[in-house]
């Protein structure tokens, strides 16, 4: 029997965008210059290697987000315990909307995400850097 999805990804993204601050790429580029801002890159490591990254961004795959944010988790990362503004991005702005909403729901604040993601950042002239592929294991 096929599954019946009652709330698809579009509804989830729309809900996230209604509840989380969405920044334009230009706004995010300006904000990234401040010391009180952390850019969080939730793309897969292969995407980062293929497309590059925002200099200084903290890489956190979407699958580890909740575990890295929660200070009670054995996987907690100190970056998320700082009194900063957290601006999330992915490739195109969908996953980052969901990630920012999850972070906000957990109590992380303030949070935002970049409309259009890394692609919009690059198109707006934001700085990027290449990433060397990891050595095969």
Q: What is the pLDDT of residues 74-102, one digit of tens each?
A: 999 999 999 999 999 999 999 999 999 99
Average pLDDT, the chain: 96
Give SS3 for 8: coil
Q: pTM for this structure?
A: 0.94
Asked if residue 25 lies in contact with residue 120, where contact means CB atoms within 8 angstroms, the answer is yes
User: Six-digit token pair at 102?
Assistant: 């999850």
Report yes or no: 43 and 90 within 8 Å, Cβ to Cβ.
Answer: yes
Q: What is the model's pLDDT at position 137?
A: 72
H/E stretch holding 116: none
Q: Two tokens at 72?
A: 């009670």
């Amino acid at each position: 029997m096929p599954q019946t999805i009652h709330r698809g990804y579009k509804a989830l993204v729309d809900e996230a965008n209604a509840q989380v601050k969405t920044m334009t790429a230009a706004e995010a580029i300006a904000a990234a210059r401040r010391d009180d801002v952390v850019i969080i890159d939730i793309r897969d490591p292969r995407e980062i290697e293929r497309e590059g990254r925002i200099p200084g961004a903290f890489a956190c795959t979407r699958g580890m987000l909740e575990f890295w944010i929660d200070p009670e988790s054995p996987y907690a990362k100190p970056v998320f315990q700082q009194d900063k503004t957290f601006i999330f991005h992915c490739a195109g702005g969908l996953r980052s909307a969901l990630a920012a909403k999850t972070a906000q729901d957990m109590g992380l604040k303030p949070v935002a995400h970049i409309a259009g993601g890394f692609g919009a950042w690059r198109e707006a002239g934001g700085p990027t850097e290449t990433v060397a592929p990891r050595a095969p294991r």
